[in-house]
Structure 1
Amino acid sequence: MPSPAVNQWPRWLRITVVGIATAAVISGGWLAYRYFAKPVYLTVAAGSLDGEALSLISAISARLAASNAHTRLKVVDSRTSAKASELLASGNADLAVVRGDTGGLADARSVLLLTHGVVLIMSPSTTRADSLGDLRDATIGVVGGPVNRPTVDALKQVYQFDRAKVRFQDVAITEGAAALSSGQVQALLAVVPLTEKYLAKVRQFFQPAGAKGEAPKLIEIESAGAVANVAQYYESYDIPKGTLRGSPPIPSDDLTSLRVSFFLVANKSVDADTITDLTQSLVDVRRDLLSQYPILAQAAAPSTDANALIPIHPGAATYYNGNQQSFLDKYDDKLYYGSLLLGSLISVILAAWRFANSGGGSKSKLEPLYELGSEIRNARSEAELEQTERRIDDILREELARSAGGEGADGEMAALGLAAQRLHYLMQQRRTVLRSSQRTGD
């Protein structure tokens, strides 16, 4: 019960105090809801020489925002895979789109395998060499330059290019066709996904300015298995017959080459639940964007093996392994403590209500009548008893008036009548005691 000092507060003051406290509780609950419900933004670094990586990730980011996904992306143009890896390692990005042969991925954990880049070594059809080991005294133009330098370094660990007088020269994408037609290079090396969009760009190296050019020829990397053994971010891959052209087919049969994977990776420090939520959203978005970006047809779950090139992020593994917790499993503790908190808040509100209405006088006079019982027992004279009796009459008169006005309940009136009879009985006993004491004293 409120203290007597609080009971003396004006009613408006008590209501104001309760109102302020209630507003504070509601505001705190709303702010907590806003904090936990607001979207989580992750910075993703993406870049490629042709701009396709940035375009794809930007489209995914826009789709996540349009679908009100809880985890969303903030895209940063890194220009190259190597720069994206640097941003991830330095903590300036939470996610990055990288090629498997990019360095600096010690802290990277795979979230999604986006596609594979296949190593294509192309030359005019007049070239006599059918395999990379047969090339002699030739210059191979490396399309993209530094981006594909890891591929050249891996090939050099297996092939004796110095003995065969095979050289490598960086060539810009826009200069590939001119370098071939001028004889500056005798072959081109490019690493591209096997999609129609990229294969069309490859064909343009042999058809400058829209003219009908010489048919291309694909050079086989016959020792692809050995290269993959010394450079484990590559794997041997057979290019299907007719990939570059259907009739007549180029290549004329399945052709051995190499391929490297492109990943969406996250820093290992990113929260696992956040990555689980993001992975699920990415799988949903992939279906929505498949018609616009056919390359997403190659997207898949990364390897979950312990010795994988890039270990999988625990949050992504949770989704791919189907170990996502249900809502109740995930939030059972929060729901339990939330129910306790709700019960406590209800108790506080009830106490505040009593506090706001305290001191306003009791609707029933039972309590004052009970208190008069002790006064009767302690009365020292009949004058005190008469004064108490007048107070009882006043209370009964007030209650009768309330009952006549329809405010009092029948049960309360009955209780008041019983209490009044009890008090009159006590008064008679006390008068008898006082008169006996008076005669004894006389």
Structure 2
Amino acid sequence: MTKVAVNLWPRWLRALLVGAATAAIIGGSWLTYRHFAKPIYLTVAAGSADGEALALTSAISARLAASKSHIRLRVNDSSTSAKAAELLAAGKADLAIVRGDTGGLADARSVMLLTHGVVLIMAPATVSADSLGDLRDTTIGVIGGAINRQMVDALKQVYQFDRAKVRFQDVAIADGAAALSSGQVHVLLAVVPLTEKYLTKMRQLFQNAAAKAAVPKLIEIEAAGAIPNVAPYYESYDIPKGTLRGAPPVPSDDLTSLRVSLFLVANKSVDADTITDLAQALVDVRRDLLSQYPILAQAGAPSTDPDALIPIHPGAATYYGGNQQSFLDKYDDKLYYGSLLLGSLISIIIAAWRFAGSDAEAQSMLEPLYELRHEIKNAKTEPELDETEKKIDDILKAELTKNARGDGADGSEMGAVSLAAQRLHHLMSHRRARLRKS
């Protein structure tokens, strides 16, 4: 397509083409922005016997949505930690809240350490034993049942409960007080975070028992140091003095027990950059929700040791290690190529503006007139000259029509067109005379 042919197009057609091209560029840019700016949704499986894990996860999800975070959570109620681990392993969840002693975590990578569950073995003050090894002919009620089976199995491997006639029986938390009152169990075992909310629940189990004035005592796990040798997901822990009650203090001194960690984990296949952004968002949310959920005071970075119980996710390691890339480092290549693309688009827009504009219209009148000079010189017959003369008349008529609309050439440009037309008519008369003579 020659420049002359393009300039003969109607102005409205050129404007329409430029508008369509501009709309396509703007639409493509908007779709690209939406693609990179839209939130990333991760499914998190959470569940616990008391429902606290689900409530906490839902609060975090709501806060991320309210703050317009780039990372959003879809919460899946899994009822238990074991079920959450199953959903993660099956690829039905990207994240899960699990206890460290939950099985099936081969593909799990830690993102955040949420809290620790501490083993509390509580008994009425009338029980004479002060340590787990001193218990005889006793039934221990295990609150939580299946979730604490790993804990019970670890204790059985270290203590000779068969000789001491110590038995274990699963007890629902709602039935704990009744089981104590009826004598079905003599001691209660629970694994809970050491927060006031959970400690209050433990005290109420004894306040609702038959002996209303009974003050519970804590039984020491004196062999806690040997438990990690048979079950590495547990660690020895000293319960601080006065944890259960302040005056008189219960326990009366630091008491040896066990604890297990509670993690937010991700499937190892989840993108590292996504987990880096998630870890940063969780730290921000933790500050906002701390007053509402005091348990978040215990949240922090998981272990980065290569031999950690649950290896840390590479994306989380990047954030906690302070190796998070800046915006320029992360998008350096994209910004470079984007600037080249932007420059190209600007050049295209300028060319399109010139294509659709009227600044070339005067030139578009002179050029076709100049091209007709060759047709006149090469004409072999008078009908060819007549056809050329018609073209000249059509060009002049089109320019007069534009002037009538107010968008034609100015006076000086029209003068140049008039001189060009006179020159062509002179050449045409000369050529016609020669044809008639020959």
CA shift, 1:359, in A, is: 12
> Could you tell me how far 1:264 is from its partner in structure 2?
0.6
Deviation at 1:180, TM superposition (A): 1.4
Q: How many residues align?
A: 431
- Does residue 118 of the first structure (1) align with residue 139 of the second (2)? no
Could you tell me how far apart the structure 2 residues matched to 1:413 and 1:117 are? 92
Query: Residue 104 of structure 2: SS of its match in structure 1?
Result: coil
Q: Cα distance, 1:411 vs. partner? A: 9.5
Which moves more between the two structures, 123-132 or 410-419?
410-419
On the 8 A contact 1:8/1:359 being kept in 2, the answer is no
Match of 2:83 in 1: 83
Counterpart of 2:137? 137
SS in 2 for 1:229: helix
Distance in 1, Cα, partners of 2:139 & 2:364: 107
Does structure 2 retain, via aligned residues, the 8 Å contact 1:364–1:412? no
Find the residue that maps to 2:133 and give its secondary structure: helix
The TM-score, its normalising length taken from structure 1, stands at 0.84
SS at match of 1:98: strand
TM-fit CA distance, 1:170: 0.4
Q: How does 1:152-301 map to 2 (within 5 A)?
A: 152-208=152-208, 212-301=212-301
CA deviation after TM superposition for structure 1 residue 151, in Å: 0.5
Tell me the equivalent position of 1:331.
331
Contact 2:117 2:259 in 1 (8 A): yes
Partner of 1:304: 304
Q: 1:40-79 CA deviation, whole Å, 9 max, x = no partner?
A: 1111111111111111111111111111111011111111
Q: What 5-or-longer segments of structure 1 have no aligned partner?
A: 381-387
- Judge conservation of contact 2:8–2:364 (CA < 8 Å) in 1: no
CA distance in 1, matches of 2:309, 2:187: 30
Cα distance in 2, alignment partners of residues 379 and 178 from structure 1: 118
Alpha-carbon separation, structure 2, partners of 1:297 and 1:191? 18
Which residue pairs with 2:383 in the alignment? none
Deviation at 1:363, TM superposition (A): 4.2
Deviations 1:132-186 (A, max 9, x none): 1111111111011111111001111211111221110001101111111222111
Query: What TM-score does the superposition give when structure 2 sets the normalisation length?
Result: 0.85
Q: Which moved more, 1:190-199 or 1:328-337?
A: 328-337
Cα distance in 2 for partners of 1:74, 1:161 equals 44
2:7, 2:361 within 8 Å by CA — same for their partners in 1? no
Quote how far apart the aligned CAs of 1:347 are: 2.6
Q: 1:233 to 1:194 in 2, by over 3 A?
A: same
Q: For 1:122 and 1:29, locate their aligned partners in 2 and report how far apart those are by CA, in whole Å.
A: 64
1:329 positional shift: 0.8
- Which amino acid in the other structure matches residue 176 of structure 2? G
Please give the residue correspondences for 1:286-435 in structure 2 after superposition, counting only pairs within 5 Å: 286-357=286-357, 361-363=361-363, 367=367
Residue matched to 1:93: 93
Q: Is 2:119–2:191's contact at 8 Å kept on the other side of the alignment?
A: yes
Alpha-carbon distance in structure 2 between the residues aligned to 1:95 and 1:418: 81
- Which deviations, in whole Å up to 9, do the C-alpha atoms of 1:193-228 show, x marking residues without a partner? 001110001111211079733111111111111101
Aligned to 1:12: 12
Q: Structure 1 residues 125 and 2, CA, compared in 2 at 3 Å: closer, same or farther? A: farther
SS state at 1:194 partner: coil
Q: CA deviation at 1:118?
A: 0.2
Q: How far apart in 2 are the matches of 1:9 and 1:299?
A: 70
CA contact (8 A) 1:2 1:358 kept: no
Structure 2 segments unaligned to the other structure (5+ residues): 381-387
Residues 44 and 73 of structure 1 are in contact (CA less than 8 Å); yes or no, is this contact kept in structure 2? yes
Q: Give the secondary-structure state (helix, strand or coil) at the position aligned to 1:241.
A: coil
2-structure distance, mates of 1:2, 1:210 = 103
Q: Identity over the aligned pairs, expressed in percent?
A: 77
